[in-house]
């Protein structure tokens, strides 16, 4: 996920120069158009995009795809913070620190440079809130970290009773003077890796439940 490109970041910083503006790409409308959704369902592809974030000139990297599982199943996967280390690419540790009425505080840790160093942050994931026809879950760095900024927004929209449109919009700013033009495309790639991993897990659980129901019949 976001740490796997850090080796390249460290190499690039020696030579970095020029504009801090990330390559612009308009984010698709929340929920997507019927044409977009139909294409995602047919192709099973992920679509990457970038989106402006408040308080920073660096654009977040986003990705979206269709999941053959109900929204409730997908929500259960993306809020399984304690097990991010088991299914999201690259996580070494994910530990719940506290739960409360405003959300869940999670310690996230990932190795870089082949284990020579570690990126980590305490992130608060809020409760799901309505977002158009679906819902979103926002995570933001609220505690100690060795990063300047980290934000992650999961967005889930029902396509029908058994399929869900899943999006992730992700911003991570390391404590290095790097241009957004380098950071944002890597964040798009990380978002795609994450939503693909969530899709695989959600669909596997949905298939297992369906197989169990058929066996019971």
With CA atoms as reference, report the closest residue to 102 among 123, 125, 134.
125
Query: Is the separation of the CB atoms in 51 and 30 below 8 Å?
Result: no
Predicted TM-score of the model (pTM)? 0.84
| Secondary element (H or E) of residue 55 | none
Q: For 141-168, what is the HEC assignment?
A: EEEEECEEEEEEEEEEEEEECCEEEEEE
Asked if the structure places residue 100 within a domain, the reply is no
Number of folded domains that form the chain: 1
Domain CATH for 191: 3.30.530
Residue with tokens 């900024």, as numbered in its chain: 149
Backbone angles phi, psi at 130, to 5 degrees: -65, 140
Asked if the structure places residue 153 within a domain, the reply is yes
Q: What does the pLDDT profile of the chain (217 residues) look like in tens digits? A: 554 544 444 433 333 333 333 344 555 556 667 888 999 999 999 999 999 999 999 999 999 999 999 999 999 999 999 999 999 987 889 999 999 999 999 999 887 666 677 889 999 999 999 999 999 999 999 999 998 999 999 999 999 999 999 999 999 888 877 777 888 998 999 899 999 999 999 999 998 887 776 666 6
Asked if the structure places residue 112 within a domain, the reply is no
Asked if the structure places residue 181 within a domain, the reply is yes
Asked if the structure places residue 163 within a domain, the reply is yes
- Tell me the residue range of the domain where 170 lies: 6-11+23-81+130-139+146-212
């Amino acid at each position: 996920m976001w740490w796997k490109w850090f080796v390249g970041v460290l190499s690039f910083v020696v030579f970095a120069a020029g504009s801090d503006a990330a390559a612009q790409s308009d984010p698709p409308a929340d929920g997507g158009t019927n044409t977009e959704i139909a294409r995602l369902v047919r192709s099973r592809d992920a679509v990457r995009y970038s989106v402006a974030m408040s308080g920073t000139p660096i654009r977040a990297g986003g990705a979206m795809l269709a999941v053959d599982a109900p929204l409730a199943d997908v929500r259960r996967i993306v809020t399984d913070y304690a097990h991010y280390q088991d299914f999201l690419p690259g996580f070494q540790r994910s530990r719940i620190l506290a739960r409360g009425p405003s959300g869940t505080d999670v310690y996230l840790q990932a190795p870089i440079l082949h284990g020579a160093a570690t990126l980590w942050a305490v992130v608060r994931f809020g409760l799901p809130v309505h977002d158009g026809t679906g819902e979103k879950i926002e995570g933001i760095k609220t505690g100690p970290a060795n990063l300047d900024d980290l934000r992650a927004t999961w967005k889930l929209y029902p396509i029908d009773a058994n399929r869900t449109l899943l999006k992730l919009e992700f911003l991570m700013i390391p404590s290095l003077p790097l241009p957004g033009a380098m950071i944002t495309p890597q964040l798009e790639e990380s978002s795609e890796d994450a939503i693909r991993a969530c899709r695989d897990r959600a669909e596997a659980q949905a298939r297992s439940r369906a197989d169990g129901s058929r066996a019971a019949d």
